[in-house]
Amino acid sequence: DQQVKQNSPSLSVQEGRISILNCDYTNSMFDYFLWYKKYPAEGPTFLISISSIKDKNEDGRFTVFLNKSAKHLSLHIVPSQPGDSAVYFCAASLNNAGNMLTFGGGTRLMVKP
Amino acid sequence: DTAVSQTPKYLVTQMGNDKSIKCEQNLGHDTMYWYKQDSKKFLKIMFSYNNKELIINETVPNRFSPKSPDKAHLNLHINSLELGDSAVYFCASSPLGEWTEAFFGQGTRLTVV
């Protein structure tokens, strides 16, 4: 029973264009959402987050949007760069549950030069 | 200067053995975690631990146990290893408080033969 889902296992984008990665969740009690980036043979690296009281958070080329009514969040990367090629994991947490993260299955992003 | 480090990076062992994976963080964080990434690449929480509380994911077999000699360390002990325990195990840490992100180690690939 996956509470966090990333329905696109892979995404291919041309360098310079926008990458949009999507994530859906089912547990309405989640109050904090994060995106992690993962390269092979490395641990996940924190990218950007958003709390449930906001609907947008921006950090440089990365923007996360949260639509609570739809239980949907997305990560926008613009412009995309070849170094962005990695697996991106969406994660969610409950503040009263030790900040343990529930992860989606990941989306492999390939940015072509 | 690695923030969260795990040893060993690779571990190959026979069924039935008992093994440990070590984790250390130098971030001064209060909470540490163990996650498991299975063959389908899903990342799942196993344990969350701070000096006051241990939270165990109910799906984790009791052959797995976390041991914390001090605030900077959370080791994972696994008894009577089974083939299905083969996975990549990630240690992570985060500060106490609301809406904090976790920092991950590089992972330990465990192979049970």
User: What value does the mean pLDDT of chain A take?
Assistant: 95
Residue B52's pLDDT is: 74
Residue A96's pLDDT is: 64
Mean pLDDT of B105-110: 97
A101's tokens: 């993260």
Residue B57's pLDDT is: 86
Mean pLDDT of B20-48: 94
User: CA-CA distance, B71 to B57, in Å (whole number)?
Assistant: 21
Amino acid in position A92: A
pLDDT for residue B80 is more than 90: yes
pLDDT for residue A30 is more than 80: yes
Cα dihedral B85, B87, B93, B94 sign: negative
Check CB contact under 8 Å for B104 and A43: yes
pLDDT for residue A24 is more than 90: yes
Among candidate residues A84, A86, A95, the one with its CA nearest the CA of residue A18: A84
Binned at pLDDT 50, 70 and 90, residue B99 comes out as: confident
CB A60 within 8 A of CB A48: no
CB A7 within 8 A of CB A24: yes
* Residues of chain A contacting B, Cβ within 8 Å: 31-32, 34, 36, 41-46, 49, 51, 87, 89, 95, 97-103, 105-106
Name the 3-class secondary structure at B85. helix
Number of A/B CB contacts below 8 angstroms equals 61
Check CB contact under 8 Å for A51 and B33: no
Write out pLDDT tens, residues B42-72: 999 999 998 778 888 888 999 999 999 999 9
> What string of H, E and C letters represents the secondary structure of chain A?
CCCEECCCCEEEEECCCCEEEEEEECCCCCCEEEEEEECCCCCCEEEEEEECCCCEEEECCEEEEEECCCCEEEEEECCCCHHHCEEEEEEEECCCCCCCEEECCCEEEEEEC
Binned at pLDDT 50, 70 and 90, residue A8 comes out as: very high
Residue A98's pLDDT is: 66
Check CB contact under 8 Å for A43 and B50: no
User: CA-CA distance, B113 to B103, in Å (whole number)?
Assistant: 30
Running DSSP on this structure, what letter comes out for residue B62? T
Residue B39's pLDDT is: 85
Q: Which residue has the higher pLDDT, B57 or A5?
A: A5
Binned at pLDDT 50, 70 and 90, residue B1 comes out as: low
Check CB contact under 8 Å for B106 and A42: yes
Write out pLDDT tens, residues A71-108: 999 999 999 999 999 999 999 998 766 678 999 999 99
